[in-house]
């Protein structure tokens, strides 16, 4: 057993319908299309297909569309949320929200654009007093596009 109390067995892949059960996000902010691998208490690998039809591309930037870095980090955080809920053996409820508490060491190495497949790899680093710390990497074609350390927590809604 690991720290989260799970055996570390690999869960099956998740399609968009299963993802919608684990994230409260909806269009246009839902940034996960598929989960490729998930080991509760350990790691997740998820996928975001980046389409030219994304609502941010007309304004960021019209002459050279680039996915905003904050949305790449948000995609990592959504992956982390799925991993956390699967680790806890629960699903989000209307009386709580999974919040960002901090983002450290964010680095952007390669622009993400239309037609890219963003592969999100998030690993749990620590869980202490309801605070979850993760290491996240976003890759395109096997090359790192972005990486960051994420800190999140589940809190009651006000």
Strands (E), 15-130: 34-39, 43-49, 96-108, 117-128
Q: Please say whether the beta carbons of 85 and 40 come within 8 A.
A: no
User: Which residue in 17, 60, 63, 64 is the catalytic one?
Assistant: 60
Q: Is 4 left (phi over 0), alpha (psi -120 to 50) or beta?
A: alpha
Sign of torsion over alpha carbons 105, 109, 115, 119: negative
Euclidean distance between CA atoms 125 and 120, whole angstroms: 16
Q: Establish whether 17 is a catalytic residue.
A: no
Bridge partners of 140, per DSSP, are 143
Active site residues: 60
């Amino acid at each position: 057993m690991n720290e989260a109390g799970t055996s570390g067995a690999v869960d099956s892949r998740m399609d968009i319908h299963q993802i919608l059960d684990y994230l409260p996000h909806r269009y246009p902010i839902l940034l996960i299309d598929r989960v490729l691998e998930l080991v509760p208490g350990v790691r997740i690998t998820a996928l975001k297909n980046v389409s030219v039809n994304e609502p941010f591309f007309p304004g960021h930037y019209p002459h050279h569309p680039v996915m905003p870095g904050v949305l790449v980090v948000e995609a990592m955080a959504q992956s982390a949320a799925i991993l956390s809920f699967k680790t806890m053996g629960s699903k989000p409820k209307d009386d709580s929200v999974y919040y960002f508490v901090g983002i450290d060491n964010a680095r952007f190495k390669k622009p993400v654009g239309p037609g890219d497949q963003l592969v999100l790899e998030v690993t749990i680093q620590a869980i202490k007093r309801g605070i979850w710390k993760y290491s996240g990497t976003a890759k395109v074609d096997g090359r790192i596009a972005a990486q960051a350390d994420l800190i999140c927590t589940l809190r009651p809604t006000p």
